[in-house]
Amino acid sequence: MKAVEETDVIIIGGGIAGAGAAFEISRSAKVVLLERESHCGYHTTGRSAASFTENYGNGVIRRIVLASRAFMIQPPTGFSDYPLLSKRGMITVARADQLELLAQDLEAAQALVPSIVAMTPAEAIARVPVLRADYLAGAYIEPHSMDIDVNGLHQGYLRGARARGARAVTNAGVKDIGRQGGQWRVETQAGTFLAPTLVNAAGAWGDEIAVMAGVRAIGLQPKRRTAFNIPAPAGVDITDWPLVNDVGAEFYFKPDAGQLFVSPADATPSAPMDAYAEDMDVAIGAERLEKATTIEVQRVSRSWAGLRTFVADGSPVVGPDDAVPDFVWLVGQGGYGIKTSPALSRVCASLIGGGGLPDDVARQGVALTDLTPQRLRSAQQVSAS
């Protein structure tokens, strides 16, 4: 018979959300993190574009990213052997028929990130020479957008949590959640775990975990996003190209370890699953890239897909469930879960410890009610009535 292990906090999910939460919560409590796969980060966390832009996602997301920057630039001593951020820059481009959208987008972008400035098509082409002059009608640049060392960040969280006494258990798929003596009793392939507090960081599976625990689902919708690598154009040094993003969210591309990373920016609703790239989505991405640039896609070296999981308002859900307060949500990070993880992890730990929003997060203009699940419950009640 497998032993029963008691702890203060059980976290379900070993992606960036669960790892970040383990890092912060283990400062003051004993943590066990349970991951179904044989290694943490197998699902969405290991499939991202690794971009730290302050100009993507709704207003709440952007403010949380601003509150995450300091940690990314200067993580705690010993957290990582290498810098977590490296220079990239991001150019948003528009065709003639998208110029109005570009102007609106630029105005909204500058309100939060004043370093963003308009650039001429010629200036954009000087930075990324494959952009077609007959395609490009306008552009702007976010000069301080960065690349994230996702593995460095993820492993830093896990290593730091372990150093504070946390335990990450892999091959520990949660099969049943019940109660025992006022605590949560979590049954997994790797044994049984008891704790007074349960954190749901299960990504696309977040609602399934809630239902297993007898908690009402919050309406998580996983959406598939496809990405693929192609060889860099022959004889061209792409190392310093910025990320190029279409203002209408039809494609983006950036250098990726000597190759180009390309995405059709798709968002196809999906069930929670081990997502994979559909040939059609890769073909759409290649076609859009070829329209905007002089690149001819001859070979795709690798393709993959991941699930970006959202609730209705596009903001993350962090905090105790309104009806079951020892069940804590940490889900709905959508396409922004890596870059928001420093601040969201601290918010989660603070709420579990009985505190409110960390001061620096509040100073960015985020309200607790922007994040807690109550906002979704009110909407659920309206739609049910």
Ligand X SMILES: Cc1cc2nc3c(=O)[nH]c(=O)nc-3n(C[C@H](O)[C@H](O)[C@H](O)COP(=O)(O)OP(=O)(O)OC[C@H]3O[C@@H](n4cnc5c(N)ncnc54)[C@H](O)[C@@H]3O)c2cc1C
Residue 187 Cβ vs ligand X, minimum distance, rounded to whole Å: 10
Measured CA to CA, the distance from residue 30 to residue 48 in angstroms comes to: 30
CA nearest to 361, candidates 145, 19, 65? 65
Can you tell me which residue has the tokens 């949560």?
184
Residue 121 Cβ vs ligand X, minimum distance, rounded to whole Å: 25
Measured CA to CA, the distance from residue 213 to residue 207 in angstroms comes to: 10
303 binds ligand X (CB under 6 A): no
Find the DSSP H helices in the chain: 16-25, 59-73, 99-112, 121-127, 150-163, 206-212, 279-292, 341-352, 359-363, 368-371, 374-384
Q: Do residues 93 and 136 lie in contact, with contact meaning Cβ atoms separated by under 8 Å? A: yes
Q: Which stretch binds ligand X (CB under 6 A): 44-52, 66-74, 132-140, 349-357?
A: 44-52
Q: Do residues 88 and 254 lie in contact, with contact meaning Cβ atoms separated by under 8 Å? A: yes
49 binds ligand X (CB under 6 A): yes
Q: Which of residues 237-266 bind ligand X (CB under 6 A)?
A: 263
319 binds ligand X (CB under 6 A): no
Q: With CB under 6 A, what is the number of residues at the site for ligand X? A: 39
15 binds ligand X (CB under 6 A): yes
**270, containing H or E segment:** none
Q: Which of 9, 36, 61, 153 binds ligand X (CB under 6 A)?
A: 36
Q: Which of 22, 43, 246, 344 binds ligand X (CB under 6 A)?
A: 43
Considering the complex, state which of residue 41 and residue 121 has its C-beta at the smaller distance from ligand X.
41
**117, containing H or E segment:** strand 117-119
Residue 124 Cβ vs ligand X, minimum distance, rounded to whole Å: 20
191 binds ligand X (CB under 6 A): no
339 binds ligand X (CB under 6 A): yes
Q: Which stretch binds ligand X (CB under 6 A): 76-84, 114-122, 135-143, 333-341?
A: 333-341
201 binds ligand X (CB under 6 A): yes
Residue 40 Cβ vs ligand X, minimum distance, rounded to whole Å: 6
Q: Which of 62, 308, 346, 375 binds ligand X (CB under 6 A)?
A: 308
Measured CA to CA, the distance from residue 159 to residue 177 in angstroms comes to: 27
Q: Which stretch binds ligand X (CB under 6 A): 22-30, 88-96, 120-128, 199-207?
A: 199-207
Considering the complex, state which of residue 55 and residue 98 has its C-beta at the smaller distance from ligand X.
55
Q: Which stretch binds ligand X (CB under 6 A): 45-53, 73-81, 130-138, 177-185?
A: 45-53
Amino acid at 141: I
95 binds ligand X (CB under 6 A): no
**Number of C-beta neighbours around residue 119 at 10 A:** 17
Residue 256 Cβ vs ligand X, minimum distance, rounded to whole Å: 11
CA nearest to 151, candidates 19, 37, 269, 280? 19
316 binds ligand X (CB under 6 A): no
CA nearest to 225, candidates 302, 128, 307? 307
47 binds ligand X (CB under 6 A): yes
Extract long-range pairs of 266-270: CB within 8 Å, 24+ residues apart: 266/224, 266/225, 266/226, 267/223, 267/224, 267/225, 267/308, 268/223, 268/224, 269/221, 269/222, 269/223, 269/224, 270/204, 270/222, 270/223, 270/224, 270/307
CA nearest to 190, candidates 170, 162, 165? 170
Q: Which of 14, 75, 89, 121 binds ligand X (CB under 6 A)?
A: 14
63 binds ligand X (CB under 6 A): no
Q: Which stretch binds ligand X (CB under 6 A): 113-121, 129-137, 330-338, 373-381?
A: 330-338
Q: Do residues 244 and 327 lie in contact, with contact meaning Cβ atoms separated by under 8 Å? A: no
Considering the complex, state which of residue 9 and residue 121 has its C-beta at the smaller distance from ligand X.
9
333 binds ligand X (CB under 6 A): yes
Q: Do residues 231 and 257 lie in contact, with contact meaning Cβ atoms separated by under 8 Å? A: no
Six token digits for residue 168: 């990450």
Q: Which of 10, 11, 13, 352 binds ligand X (CB under 6 A)?
A: 13
37 binds ligand X (CB under 6 A): yes
Amino acid at 293: T
Which residues are near ligand X by CB under 6 A? 12-18, 34-37, 42-45, 47-51, 173-174, 201-205, 225, 227, 263, 306, 308, 333-339
